[in-house]
Structure 1
């Protein structure tokens, strides 16, 4: 099937992007060209932290996920999308970074723990795209995505940030080889958040939520750590077939003109009328005044 000319034109622009345009390149990738797959990757990265016993213990002790799983899930996504859509140095972006720093100020953990959590947001979506999306990410997109998270990490005072995507992958794999393991706390967190995924599925598929997640993760070590059923050959084949059909349809259609995310807009059952930045974040963390503008940089 031929690719829609608008998709081809955007791909060429992404291939020819200048290194200093990394925020615009990553924004185009995450909000337009590969938006659906980036969202799926962010979704999977959220669960991955539960498979690290030390991180799971910290999250479990905080109890935010168990008490407000829907809010924690949606707010996590909103923070990262606000940063992508408005820019790290915009008023809204700075507010989100201040929130992240406040939330993590007294959180126990090693520098590698904090670096791993950040890099899940880079490596997991990229790997999902490389395996399942309608096209591969360009070299410029990999560079831009890596630069985005390096800059974010710097603003969060995370040291020893990888200089390239290849270095980020290498750290990610080393860390998981050493740290992924089952834990009671991690499985409790997984159980608490399954309902968030179920709420987004058609009613007939909701009982299959755990199996769908394990199939998307496609990693027996990880699913065992999370207490999920292992993916079967049938479920893997069904996922592959569904994504193949979806990708064929995507290639035939023009590029979406509306971004995948618009700051402050409605779009979830949690914030049906939209949200302001002071709605975002744990309820027990002191808040600072939030900017109200939605302007892009």
Structure 2
């Protein structure tokens, strides 16, 4: 399969899906065709919350990130990937939605704060793929992603969740313009969480962790609020070159046949042998009986 065939097959399949197959379309985007870039986008979305002083204050007072930074980071990713892989209305999906509702039940914040947190998971990964992925996301993929997070928001009793990607972007940008600012709590959360990223880097690159994150975020106002160093011409060039090489290789390879994530078996130093659903989430939040009885398959 040559470079043009790979792109054409992927784009054609994803563009010609039925609108009511939105969950499968988004699943294929996030777990197969654009999996690596969607993961990077989800990774970057996690940090943006620390740049909002009201959200950072809530997260800091909870102390979960400071006490268990690796667990909070991995569990956040596992929850969203469980929902994508299994479906919102699957048994495992309902457990994860229930966990999200229990975690947020008594959390202070405005409806716009909660909507912003949800939309970071939509807008940030999409923008990353539009700018850096081996191919552009299709119109059908954008619609499917919006529908996925709109449905998730509805299951979390959120009102006024955007129904189009343009509406989501407009809310996201207006919210950040009004609320991104430095805070001591946000910078402490950032400093704590950087350790998790460092642990995943090769040893020679670990001292550059903050610089790498800053370059990937590519937003001076945001990185200043997070207490990160400015990106440099050299770091931007290195990122651009590295992604260009990766994308050239990706375009010449056959499409992925195995998903980026397998429920219950996500490999990490935290869950090296897999996990059951009752292990996921803050230690002080109770799980439902179904989650407690859920065993690894």
* TM-score range relative to shorter protein: over 0.9
- Secondary structure of the 2:3 match is coil
* 1:182 corresponds to: 182
User: 3-state SS of the aligned residue for 2:273?
Assistant: coil
Aligned partners of 1:69 and 1:193 also within 8 Å = yes
What are the within-5 Å matches in structure 2 for residues 259-278 of structure 1? Answer: 259-278=259-278
1:118 matched residue in structure 2: 118
Distance in 1 between residues matched to 2:201 and 2:46, nearest whole Å? 18
Q: Distance in 1 between matches of 2:30 and 2:256?
A: 12
Correspondence for 1:26: 26
Structure 2 distance, partners of 1:68, 1:294, is 23
Q: 2:294 aligns with which of 275, 283, 292?
A: 292
Report the equivalent of 2:137.
137
Residues 257, 7 of structure 1: alpha-carbon distance in 2 compared, 3 angstrom cutoff: farther
Instruction: Give 1:192's aligned residue.
Output: 192
CA contact (8 A) 1:263 1:294 kept: no
Cα deviation, 1:59-85, whole Å, max 9, x if unaligned, reads 000000000000000000000000000
In the alignment, the residues of structure 2 paired with residue 7 and residue 32 of structure 1 have an alpha-carbon distance, to the nearest angstrom, of: 13
Q: Is the 8 A contact 2:47 2:190 kept in 1?
A: yes
Separation in 2, partners of 1:219, 1:6: 32
Distance in 2, matches of 1:232 and 1:211, equals 8
Normalised TM-score (structure 2):
0.97
Partner of 2:169: 169
Deviation, 1:266, is: 3.8
Cα distance in 2 for partners of 1:10, 1:245 equals 19
Q: Deviations over 1:2-58 (max 9, x none)?
A: 426355323211010110000000000000000000000000000000000000000
SS in 1 for 2:26: helix
CA contact (8 A) 1:133 1:247 kept: yes
Number of equivalent positions: 295
Q: How far apart in 2 are the matches of 1:245 and 1:292?
A: 42
CA 1:11–1:292: 2 relative to 1, 3 Å:
farther
Q: What is the SS of the residue equivalent to 2:162?
A: coil
Any conservation in 2 of the 1:197–1:209 contact (CA below 8 Å)? yes
- Higher mean Cα deviation, 250-259 or 45-54? 250-259
Instruction: Note the aligned Cα RMSD (angstroms).
Output: 1.4
Question: 1:71 aligns to what?
Answer: 71
Q: Which runs of 5+ in 1 are unaligned?
A: none
Q: Show CA shifts across 1:115-149 (max 9, x none).
A: 00000000000000000000100000000000000
- Whole-Å separation in 1 of the counterparts to 2:144 and 2:13: 13
State the distance in 1 between where 2:100 and 2:153 align: 11
State the SS of the aligned residue for 1:269: coil
After superposition, residues 206-217 of structure 1 pair within 5 angstroms as: 206-217=206-217
